[in-house]
Every structure is written in structure tokens, then in C-alpha cells.
């Protein structure tokens, strides 16, 4: 299942790379891509993990970019 999130106010390329890598290591995630220009995070996740993974993604984003808001699209 493909899920897309808006990373509102993301403006750091280094942080975007760290977020992409950390989210990609989450259980059930097979692919993670952060696009800085569009402020989007796109993941490929197992269907049964899709609803529970949002909390983990928000925690990762807050760790690297405390002011960025994660919005489910």
C-alpha cells in the first residue's frame, strides 16, 4: 500500500535525508522517499501496518525537525 504524507515546513535537505532513511527502516516499510521541493513523504507499507505506522513517522519527523507538521494526504 502506498501512503503519502505532507511534511509541512520541511526546509532542510539533510533532515529530509535522515527522515527518509529512518522511516525506511520501520517494520513493514519497503520503500521511503522524501521530496524536499514538494515537502512529501511517500512510503510503501504492508497493508496491516499502514494505520499504526503514522505515530512512528510523526516521532521520527519530530526528532529531526521539531517544527515540521506531518499531515496525512
Binned average pLDDT, 10 residues per bin, the chain of 73 residues: 96 97 96 97 93 94 96 92
Sequence-ordered list of residues with C-beta below 8 angstroms from that of 19, at least 6 positions apart, any chain: 7, 10, 34, 41, 60, 61, 64, 65
How many angstroms separate the CA atoms of 23 and 7, rounded?
A: 13
**Rounded (10°) angle between helices 53-64 and 13-24:** 150
- pLDDT of res. 50: 85
Amino acid at each position: 500500500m502506498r501512503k503519502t504524507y505532507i511534511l509541512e515546513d520541511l526546509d532542510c535537505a539533510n533532515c529530509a535525508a535522515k527522515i527518509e532513511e529512518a522511516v525506511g527502516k520501520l517494520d513493514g516499510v519497503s520503500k521511503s522517499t522524501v521530496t524536499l521541493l514538494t515537502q512529501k513523504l511517500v512510503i510503501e507499507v504492508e497493508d496491516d501496518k499502514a494505520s499504526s505506522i503514522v505515530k512512528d513517522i510523526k516521532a521520527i519527523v519530530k526528532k529531526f525537525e521539531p517544527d515540521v507538521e506531518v499531515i496525512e494526504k
